[in-house]
Amino acid sequence: MQEGQDWIYSDIVKDHFLNPRNYLMGDESNFDYDVSGIVGNPICGDQMKMFLKIDPKTDKITDLRWKTYGCASAIASTSALSELAKGKTLDEALSITAEDIDDYLGKLPKHKFHCSILGHDALREAINKYRSTS
């Protein structure tokens, strides 16, 4: 950032970017997950992978982790989504919108709003894959 420029993100975005929640460090095989979903955004080149641990009796997401190749907005948005979705049923998790994530983060810059959709799309992909194999 050049001198005199302000950080364009809210403090909560900065916190989730610098201290991402539920981020999967290292080898994916070290996390015992039931299903994963992966999506990419050809506009910005970001890619997101979501890993879910699901209780089959309650359909609740008991744990989740994620990996990304993305910008600060994509990282912060997916970190926030992981906090919002953990402990929810699959239907409740699917009802979380990009606007919910944006509100939780105190608003992303308009040109970065599309980043809040990437994590949700990976979550939806994982849930759809889980439901198609259950």
Position 57 scores a pLDDT of 97
Q: Which is it for strands 35-40 and 47-55: parallel, antiparallel or unpaired? A: antiparallel
Contact present, 35 and 129 (Cβ < 8 Å): yes
Q: Is 115 a catalytic residue?
A: yes
Residue 41 lies in a domain: yes
Q: Is residue 5 part of a domain?
A: no
Q: CB of 13 within 8 A of CB of 27?
A: no
Is the model's pLDDT at 12 over the cut of 80?
Answer: yes
Q: How many residues does the chain have?
A: 134
Structurally, the chain folds into a number of domains equal to: 1
Q: Could you say which of 48, 75, 80, 115 is catalytic?
A: 115
Choose, from 12, 44, 71, 94, the residue flagged as catalytic: 44
Structure tokens at 24: 């999967």
Counting residues of the chain whose pLDDT is more than 70, the rounded percentage is: 88
Of 63-72, 84-93, 101-110, minimum mean pLDDT range? 101-110
pLDDT score recorded for residue 15: 94
- Residue 59 resides in a domain: yes
Q: How far apart are CA 110 and CA 35, in angstroms?
A: 32
Q: Would residue 4 count as lying in a domain?
A: no
Q: Does the active-site annotation cover 71? A: no
